[in-house]
A and B are shown apart, each in its own frame.
Chain A
Amino acid sequence: MTLLREGWITGQKGIDYFRYSAYSLLLEWPASMSHDMLQVINAHIQAITSLDITGVNEIVPGYHSIMIYFDTSTNTHESLIDIIEELNITKATSHENSDITIIEVTYGGAVGPDLATVAETLGLTESEVIALHADTVYDIHFIGFLPGFLYLGGLDKKLSIPRRSNPRTKVPAGSVALAAGQTGVYPSDSPGGWHIIGKTDHQLFNPSNDPPCDFTSGMKIQFKSI
């Protein structure tokens, strides 16, 4: 192992490690938002989870990274790095979940106030925007920003549009929105700068349930126009 960038440790299997805090270790792969990277991330989450390491409290993914939060009385950064470097992960060992959850969406009208603008800006009809949005199967890369906010991969490039120039102070929960090459659903009322094209009644986060969200990284969803 060699020291490359300040604080980083380069492993033997393409993973860079960073001692993030006394009780957290960051794993990082080359920057990518791809489906292939998602599979690499997921294979590692599955493998680390299945080892059931005492004191590994939380495993939190990003696009090309994983943070492991651990109990310092049973683990060190080094002991975890050693375990992860020993993992034998190949494409074959990562099994992909092919189930698709359908999320019903009411597009346009009062609940999708930006649909017309989006269509006009992109030179499409409203029906075309809806079709492109609903025809895609989206990967859930990870959950962040807000509790239950799904970072989705796979938006059709034709639906790539910059953020609104004036963000809304309150976007209602359930709003389906897009901007900057991404699409998502606001799980709770929050400020937001994305274009709202519809609304779903599907509850994405409910802290009275455990787990509070039906989704985890690696799952797939598709929107359906109702």
Chain B
Amino acid sequence: MIEILRSGSHICIVDIGREGYQNYGTPVSGAMDMVSLARANSLLGNKMNDGILELYFSGHQIQFHCNTHIALAGATADLTLGDKNIYIDQVIKVNKGDILSIGAMSKGCRLYIAIAQGIESTTLLGSKSPLSGYTKEQIKKGDKISIKSTPLALKKFATRSALNIDRTKKIQCTVGPEWHKLSKLQQEAILSNTYVINHQSDRMGYRLDGPSLDIDPFQILSSPVMTGTIQLLPNGLPLILMRECQTTGGYPRILQVLSYDINQLAQRKPQDEVQFELTDRFR
């Protein structure tokens, strides 16, 4: 078992998400940064879909009530286990009673903590990831989470590569279904503007601040949307749909973020900048 001694901004349990229920309006959800989920799980030889902790920002403290092994991936942060400094991208042995503290983050904003053999928690529709309105809104101070206490066989696992977090990297997008409804000038503006992530951004979507597009606002008849879909809001600003987004929407879908770059966005926080770049390849 592990215990949350202090919860900074937001902690949740995630995996690869809930597939196969979007026709019932169920968001896919899952880890915001899937690359780091895979990285952390793979370091321990866990299954890709094992539940792990997603920690947003710093200020968290977790105590382990049994011996285990952990691996961290994603954001770079000041990390201590007891009185030792520890680092991401490594397998770390944890002893019963150890306290893991997550301090300031210097790169990225989401840290993933995988625990040997995964976290035990309620599975809804095949996933442990948040389902708004039905799973616990967030994990808080004093909460206890079940883990399996079994020693890890000491061997090297085939590991997945880490995400190269780069705050200045342009976000690669393909055109969205309604891109063609914008004028050449409007298209060029979106691709040359520098947007800033608004504070009203979460696992559902990122609102952006920046030069507002001069448009006659239009909507479409509700049609499917997905993670990475960039909608154009009536105020002329883009909204990026993230992992817990709704399954259909009525705002024009102007761009679609490449799957890989959604992970890059997951590591950007409010006040960080975003620029879009068009590509014609899905990669």
Q: Is the CB of A146 within 8 A of B246?
A: yes
Q: Choose one: A28, A33, A144, A207; the contact of B247 (CB below 8 Å).
A: A144
Chain B residues with CB below 8 A from A64, complex form = 221, 223
Q: Choose one: B131, B175, B177, B220; the contact of A207 (CB below 8 Å).
A: B131
Decide: A190 near B24, CB < 8 A? Known: A21-B174, A62-B224, A142-B248: no
Q: Choose one: A8, A33, A144, A189; the contact of B177 (CB below 8 Å).
A: A8
Q: Is A31 an interface residue (CB 8 A)?
A: yes
Q: Is the CB of B177 within 8 A of A26?
A: yes
Quick one: which of B124, B228, B246, B247 has the most chain A CB within 10 A? B247
Q: Is the CB of A207 within 8 A of B259?
A: no
Decide: A207 near B125, CB < 8 A? Known: A7-B180, A21-B174, A22-B259: yes
Chain A residues with CB below 8 A from B221, complex form = 31-33, 62-64
Q: Is A87 an interface residue (CB 8 A)?
A: no
A23 to B283, CA, bound (A): 11
Interface of A is mostly: loop
Interface residues of A in 54-106 (CB under 8 A from B): 57-67, 69
Interface residues of B in 129-163 (CB under 8 A from A): 131, 133-134
Q: Is the CB of B223 within 8 A of A58?
A: no
Q: Is the CB of B124 within 8 A of A144?
A: no
Decide: A208 near B282, CB < 8 A? Known: A58-B20, A64-B221, A147-B131: no
A88 to B221, CA, bound (A): 26
Chain A residues with CB below 8 A from B249, complex form = 144
Interface residues of A in 1-36 (CB under 8 A from B): 5-8, 18-24, 26, 28, 31-33
Q: Is A188 an interface residue (CB 8 A)?
A: yes
Q: Is the CB of A207 within 8 A of B124?
A: yes
Q: Choose one: B20, B124, B223; the contact of A208 (CB below 8 Å).
A: B124
Q: Choose one: B24, B223, B258; the contact of A205 (CB below 8 Å).
A: B24
Q: Is the CB of B224 within 8 A of A147?
A: no
Q: Is the CB of B282 within 8 A of A6?
A: no
Binds B, one of A121-129, A193-201, A210-218: A210-218
Q: Is A223 an interface residue (CB 8 A)?
A: no
Q: Is B74 an interface residue (CB 8 A)?
A: no
Q: Choose one: A33, A65, A149; the contact of B224 (CB below 8 Å).
A: A65
Decide: A20 near B248, CB < 8 A? Known: A6-B179, A147-B24: no
Q: Choose one: A6, A65, A145, A189; the contact of B223 (CB below 8 Å).
A: A65
Q: Choose one: B24, B223, B246; the contact of A28 (CB below 8 Å).
A: B223
- Shortest distance in angstroms between B184's beta carbon and chain A's nearest beta carbon? 11
Residue of chain B at shortest CB distance from A173: B133
Chain B residues with CB below 8 A from A58, complex form = 19-20, 22-23
Interface residues of A in 107-165 (CB under 8 A from B): 142-149, 151
A-B complex: 5 closest residue pairs judged by Cβ atoms: A144-B248, A67-B224, A62-B223, A22-B282, A188-B133
- 22 CB contacts below 8 A, A to B, read A6-B180, A19-B174, A21-B259, A21-B282, A22-B283, A32-B221, A60-B248, A62-B221, A62-B222, A64-B223, A65-B223, A67-B224, A142-B248, A143-B24, A144-B246, A147-B131, A148-B25, A207-B134, A208-B124, A212-B21, A212-B26, A213-B25
